[in-house]
Amino acid sequence: MEVEKRTMVNGGMKLPIGYRFHPTDQELILHYLLPKAFASPLPSSIIPVFDVFSTHPLTFPGDQEENKRYFFCKKRSEVSSNAHRIKISSGDGYWKPTRKEREIIACGRRVGIRRTLAFYETNKSSSKCNKTRWSMTEYCLAGFASTKVSGDWAVYNVYERKVSKGRRQRKSSGRFDEEELSCIDFTIGSDHETGPPPPSPPTSADESGSII
C-alpha cells in the first residue's frame, strides 16, 4: 500500500523512472478492459477510473509529463443531428470522432474496436467551439468479448498532439520560443568569433629559469 502512495501523482499512478505503460491494442482489451468489464482482478492498478467527459483534459488526473494517460470510463451517449455531426458532450465542450472505427483482432477473433476523438472546447467570447490539440483513443469490447459483461466500460487513451515542426517554425518566425530558451543552460554572445582560439605566443625563459 505504501508503494502505491509513493507512486501516485495528481490522482494517477506514476511508474518508476525508465518504465512506460505501452500495451498493444490486444493486451489492453484482453488483459485490462475485459477483466474490468467482468469485475475480475486486473494485472495492475495502473489504469484509474475517471470520467473523461466531465471536465477539460487539462484537469485530468495523473502525471502531466506523460505523453499518454489511460482511464477506465463508462461510455457516454452520442448526440447526432446527421451522420457527419456525431459528438459526445463534455463539461467544457465536446469530443468528436475524427476517424472510422477499427477492429481489434486477437487469435483470429474480433475482440474490440477503437476510434479516435478530438476535443473541441467552448469559446467564452462566442457560441462556437474551437478544436484543440487534445485527442483520445476509445477502446471498446466487441464480438464474443462484449457478451454478458458488467456495464458498458471502455478504456480511453488521452494525449495532446504536438505542433508540427513546420508550423512551429512559422509561428516563431525564425526566433527561439520561450520554452526552447528555458532549456538552454548556456549563452552565446554576439561578439564571439567562430572557430578555434588563436594559438598562444611561444614562451622563453631567462638564465634563471623564469618564464618571460
Domains and their CATH numbers in the chain? 2-165 (2.170.150.80)
Measured CA distances, 166 to 161, 171, 172, 181 (Å): 14, 9, 10, 19
pLDDT of residue 20: 82
SS3 category, 195: coil
The per-residue pLDDT string of the chain (212 residues; one tens digit each, 9 = 90 and over) reads: 444 444 555 656 677 788 888 999 999 999 999 999 999 999 998 999 999 999 999 999 987 777 889 999 999 877 665 544 577 877 788 999 988 899 999 999 999 999 999 999 988 777 778 899 999 999 999 988 787 776 689 999 999 988 766 555 555 444 434 444 333 333 334 444 444 455 555 555 555 555 54
- Measure Cα distances from 180 to 43, 132, 177, 183 in Å: 40, 22, 5, 5
Count of CB atoms within 10 A of residue 115's CB? 15
pLDDT of residue 62: 82
pLDDT of residue 89: 79
Alpha-carbon span 99 to 78, nearest angstrom: 15
Residue 182: enclosing H or E segment and its boundaries? helix 178-182
Write down the H helix ranges in 15-136. 25-27, 34-37
* pLDDT at site 195: 47
Give the residue from 114, 113, 115, 112 showing the smallest Cα distance to 144: 112
Please say whether the beta carbons of 52 and 45 come within 8 A: no
Query: HSE-up of 192 (CA within 13 Å, CB side)?
Result: 8
Are 44 and 27 within 8 A, CB to CB? no
pTM of the model: 0.69
Supply 113's cell numbers. Answer: 474496436
Longest dimension (CA), the chain: 101
Q: Are 51 and 73 in contact (CB under 8 A)?
A: yes
